[in-house]
């Protein structure tokens, strides 16, 4: 036995042995009870960092624990490979986005395998490939067929330079985090999911072993309020609307109303001012 531990040699040897033996490939015919462990797929930025290990090491420990308890554990891995950052990075480097993305997938797959986690690599997914995104398209069509996907107008964060919508988290001090351009507000017609149809169900936690703080977060996210709409007459030459409808949980206080405030993004604001 050697006196020094050489991870570069020893771990590589055993990881290759596990791969050759297909040790972590999951059989669907196993008589053992099923356990599904899923870690968020990393974005194909090019290299893993400590944040990836922070998420993946504990989840792998959990999956191994269930495996040792006798469960048939399915622990897949894949790559979140859609999005504007990949396109911007490819343009900056003068190469095709697909080439850039797949190069990163190869490198990050190598890095992930060096972790020695119990991922079933035979079930790897790469979200920018047709054999994966055909299923997201299928899901969307099913939602549309059942009236759960619809188009509507809404205000968005718009970057004139990147020519794309940005999430609020991607706007830093009024600027695009990617290119630094000033972000503007813009009304766009876009797709929505009718998740409000599931508001009641999303606040039912029977059979779900969640900490109370998570349940509170869920209730606050759904934000369901019970109340009524009250119509206030509107007489203004610039507005074709003849009323402003206001939702309130306290209709009994309506006779005490002295003023109302329109949100800055309300379509009436520009016309009334």
Report the pLDDT averaged over residues 158-174: 89
Gap between the Cα atoms of 252 and 271, Å rounded: 30
Report the pLDDT averaged over residues 83-101: 85
Which residues, 6+ apart, have CB-to-CB distance to 112 below 8 Å? 42, 48, 56, 77, 119
Percent of the chain residues past pLDDT 90, beyond the cut: 57
Please check the confidence at residue 5 and state whether its pLDDT lies above 90: no
Report the pLDDT averaged over residues 168-184: 90
- Picking from 155, 157, 163, the residue whose alpha carbon sits closest to that of residue 179 is 163
- Domains (range + CATH), the chain: 7-146 (3.40.50.620), 148-193 (no CATH), 197-223 (no CATH), 225-273 (no CATH)
Mean pLDDT over each residue of the chain, to the nearest integer:
90
- If phi over 0 gives left and psi between -120 and 50 gives alpha, with beta otherwise, what is residue 2? beta
Gap between the Cα atoms of 161 and 153, Å rounded: 22
pLDDT score at 74:
95
List, for residues 107-123, the tens digit of each pLDDT value. 999 999 988 899 999 99
Please check the confidence at residue 70 and state whether its pLDDT lies above 90: yes
Residue 157 CA to chain centroid, in angstroms?
A: 18
pLDDT score at 4:
86
Please check the confidence at residue 83 and state whether its pLDDT lies above 80: no
Q: ∠ at Cα 184 (178, 187), nearest 5°? A: 120
pLDDT score at 1:
67
- Picking from 152, 155, 153, 154, the residue whose alpha carbon sits closest to that of residue 185 is 155
Report the pLDDT averaged over residues 90-108: 91
3-state secondary structure of 101: helix
Gap between the Cα atoms of 100 and 66, Å rounded: 37
Which residues, 6+ apart, have CB-to-CB distance to 234 below 8 Å? 241, 242, 243, 244
Question: Does residue 249 contact residue 262 with C-beta atoms inside 8 Å?
Answer: no
Gap between the Cα atoms of 98 and 214, Å rounded: 38
């Amino acid at each position: 036995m050697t006196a020094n531990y050489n991870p570069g040699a020893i771990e590589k040897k055993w990881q290759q042995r596990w791969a050759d033996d297909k040790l972590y490939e999951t059989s669907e015919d196993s008589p053992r009870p099923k356990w599904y462990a899923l870690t968020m797929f990393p974005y194909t930025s090019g290299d893993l960092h400590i944040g990836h290990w922070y998420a993946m090491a504990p989840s792998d420990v959990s999956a191994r624990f269930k495996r040792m308890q006798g469960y048939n554990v399915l622990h897949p891995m894949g790559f979140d490979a859609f999005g504007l950052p990949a396109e911007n990075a490819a343009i900056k480097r003068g190469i095709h986005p697909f080439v850039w993305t797949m190069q990163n997938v190869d490198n990050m797959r190598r890095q992930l395998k060096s972790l020695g986690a119990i991922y079933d690599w035979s079930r790897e997914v790469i979200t920018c490939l047709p054999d994966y995104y055909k299923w997201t398209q299928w899901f969307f069509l099913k939602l549309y067929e059942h009236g759960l996907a619809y188009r509507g107008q809404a205000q968005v964060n718009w970057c004139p330079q990147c020519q794309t919508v940005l999430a609020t988290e991607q706007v830093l001090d009024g600027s695009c985090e990617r290119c630094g351009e000033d972000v503007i507000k813009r009304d766009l017609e876009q797709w929505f999911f009718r998740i409000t149809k599931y508001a009641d169900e999303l606040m039912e936690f029977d059979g779900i072993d969640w900490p109370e703080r998570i349940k509170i977060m869920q209730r606050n996210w759904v934000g369901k309020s019970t109340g009524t709409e009250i119509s206030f007459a509107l007489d203004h030459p610039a507005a074709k609307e003849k009323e402003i409808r206001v939702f309130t949980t306290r209709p009994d206080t309506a006779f005490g109303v002295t003023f109302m405030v329109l949100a800055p993004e309300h379509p009436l604001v520009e016309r009334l001012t």
